[in-house]
Amino acid sequence: MAASTSLKMITAYSTGDWGSAVENLISKGVDPKEAHRIAACYKLHSLDISQAYVVADWPKDHPDIYMELPSIDPKTSKNQYVAHMQKMLYGLKDAGRNFERYLDRFLRKRFNAQPMVADRSVYKIQMGDDVVMCCIFVDDVVFYSTSNDASYQFLSAFREQFGDDGITGGALADSVLGLTVEYDDERLTCSLGMSGYIRKICERFGIHDKSYLPKTPLPTTHEDKKYEGPLDKDRQRLFQQMVGCMTWCSHQAKPEAMISTSILSQHCQNPGDEHVDLAKHTLGYLYRTQDKGIVFHGSSKVLDSVVPQRHKIWAMVDANLGGDAFDERSRSCFVIMINGGPVAFKIMKQTKVARSTGHAEMQALSVLAQHLQFCTDLASELGYSTGCVRVLEDNSSVCMQAGGDHQAAKSGHYRRDQAYVDEYVNAGKMFVDKVESKYNTADLGTKAIKPIELFEFLRDRMTGYDPEFYTTPRIREALRQVLFVAEMQDCLLIQAESK
């Protein structure tokens, strides 16, 4: 999950910086087309290192490995010769780590770069007054910079190290780790999607334009039931393949479908025909919405509509008490947002049975706090100070208990979770704000949402297509106090000047 979260965080921050740079240049009188050309360095760029594992040297003190050579003579099954390996090949357990160390040494020596403590695959490289943000995923390098000259120097260093034939790409990214990247220069947005992957898996499993294409990943009347019949190996293999493909898709760019894959995955051991039909239902939804993914925003009109929220982290969390029909464990969901789009989202069955709604919600909140620690640490290392993270929660008792007395008798059975959240809140890292259930997008990850209109509303808010800032009564009261104090200060200044 860390690699996916880091990529989305880098995408969110690059989009916010790109939008800010474009607007600043236009405000100074620069032509919009020229402004977009100058600020293109803030967009994601990608390059790929060809035959990466072969490039790295054989690690020191590593045991010698000999590879048996195939027999040229078809009459004999074995060859009497072996080859002493001088380079790592794909498939060796140490090959990936060896290349990672090789690339790390190159970045340290050439740019004096240091990996982030929160994620060792992320680098912040200083080039004079310019900065290059870089993410490395095995042999794929994703980066953006604060100037076109810095991007050129960064790319030139890689070409010098690995050769022109050893590097592909280097321009604006059109896909990263299977995610398509699309920019809208007019709206200042960046979209990540998986339309090509969705089309391929739907074609593989027989879903097309003439199939039934539902509007929700789960039927609004869905009731989970266990199949009690005999095991069918062919059906099990087909079902597991369908669930595996959909799980990868939902965890990358279709978070609203995670609840479906979470429920379906429970039946992989012995699925029935009804479970296969339900998987096809989810595939039909993915096919219908294949052009939609997740969106990040860079426009001040969106990010500063109510309060300044550019580069600020906020989150939503929810839990469904006894959401699993078989073992009565609750299901939790959280979504972490930056610049209008989700950078981390997860659905999980809780490890222990909750004895109350507050217990289930507090367990979900404590897990969210752990993931927020990673996000805020990485953001701070990258230079984006987040401050106190706003978390939207729809349970009133949990909102009151978070940051309150964790020795209360009513919450005694989940005192450890509450104490952890209490410490996190009192440290100023997070505050829990009450939100109405109909606005809590994390609700999508705990159960089937009905009616369809409510599902579509929450989906668009979760994925960034509806970036409207939700103003709770607590926020409205805080804004009213700020405006009142500001007005009083203006009055005092006027009186002082008049005297």
**Alpha carbon 165 to its chain's center:** 32
Q: What is the DSSP string of 9-75?
A: HHHHHHHHHHHHHHHHHHHTT--HHHHHHHGGGGS-EEEEETTHHHHSPPPTTPPP-EEEPPPSSTT
Does residue 499 register a pLDDT over 50?
Answer: no
Does residue 493 register a pLDDT over 60?
Answer: no
Does residue 49 register a pLDDT over 60?
Answer: yes
Phi and psi angles of residue 146, each rounded to the nearest 5 degrees, phi first: -95, 0
With CA atoms as reference, report the closest residue to 378 among 136, 120, 119, 126. 119
In percent, the amount of the chain with pLDDT more than 90 equals 56
Higher pLDDT, residue 444 or 417? 444
As given in the structure block, the two tokens for residue 130 are: 């310019």
pTM above 0.75, yes or no: yes
The answer to whether the CB of 124 falls within 8 A of the CB of 382 is: yes
**Alpha carbon 442 to its chain's center:** 14
User: Mean pLDDT, to the nearest integer, of 490-497?
Assistant: 44
Does residue 240 register a pLDDT over 50?
Answer: yes
Predicted confidence at residue 373, as pLDDT, reads 93
Does residue 3 register a pLDDT over 70?
Answer: no
Phi and psi angles of residue 347, each rounded to the nearest 5 degrees, phi first: -120, 135
Does residue 197 register a pLDDT over 50?
Answer: yes
The answer to whether the CB of 362 falls within 8 A of the CB of 397 is: no
pLDDT digits (tens, 9 = 90+) for 87-101: 888 878 888 888 888
Assign 181 to helix, strand or coil.
strand
With CA atoms as reference, report the closest residue to 123 among 138, 146, 141. 141
With CA atoms as reference, report the closest residue to 315 among 429, 188, 454. 429
Does residue 151 register a pLDDT over 60?
Answer: yes
In the chain, where the domains are located = 49-146, 195-288, 311-468
Phi and psi angles of residue 340, each rounded to the nearest 5 degrees, phi first: 85, -10
Does residue 490 register a pLDDT over 60?
Answer: no
The answer to whether the CB of 402 falls within 8 A of the CB of 365 is: yes
C-alpha 14/C-alpha 43 separation (Å) is: 6
What is the helix, strand, coil percentage profile of the chain, to 5?
A: 45, 20, 35
- Other Cβ atoms within 10 Å of 96 Cβ, number: 16
As given in the structure block, the two tokens for residue 373 are: 């620690």
119-125: long-range pairs with CB below 8 Å, 24+: 119/2, 119/3, 119/6, 119/374, 119/378, 121/3, 121/6, 122/6, 122/10, 122/378, 122/381, 122/382, 124/381, 124/382, 124/383, 125/154
Q: Mean pLDDT for the chain?
A: 88
Q: Is the dihedral of CA 167, 170, 173, 177 positive or negative?
A: positive
Does residue 447 register a pLDDT over 50?
Answer: yes
C-alpha 124/C-alpha 126 separation (Å) is: 7
Assign 403 to helix, strand or coil.
coil
The answer to whether the CB of 353 falls within 8 A of the CB of 312 is: no
Predicted confidence at residue 409, as pLDDT, reads 66
Q: What is the DSSP string of 203-258?
A: HHTT--TTS---SSSS-TT-------S---HHHHHHHHHHHHHHHHHHHHT-GGGH
pLDDT digits (tens, 9 = 90+) for 158-183: 999 998 888 888 899 998 888 999 99
In percent, the amount of the chain with pLDDT more than 70 equals 94
> Is residue 470 classed exposed, middle or buried when 0-12, 13-18 and 19+ CB atoms within 10 A define those classes?
middle
Does residue 345 register a pLDDT over 60?
Answer: yes
User: Mean pLDDT, to the nearest integer, of 463-469?
Assistant: 90
> Which CATH number does 311-468 carry?
3.30.420.10
C-alpha 234/C-alpha 317 separation (Å) is: 38
Predicted confidence at residue 405, as pLDDT, reads 61
With CA atoms as reference, report the closest residue to 331 among 343, 347, 345, 342. 347
Does residue 263 register a pLDDT over 80?
Answer: yes
The answer to whether the CB of 424 falls within 8 A of the CB of 430 is: yes
Helices (H), 448-472: 452-463
Helix axes 233-252, 195-204, angle to 10 degrees: 170
Structure confidence at residue 497 as a pLDDT band (50, 70, 90): very low
Count of H-run helices and E-run strands, the chain? 15, 16
pLDDT digits (tens, 9 = 90+) for 357-369: 888 888 999 999 9
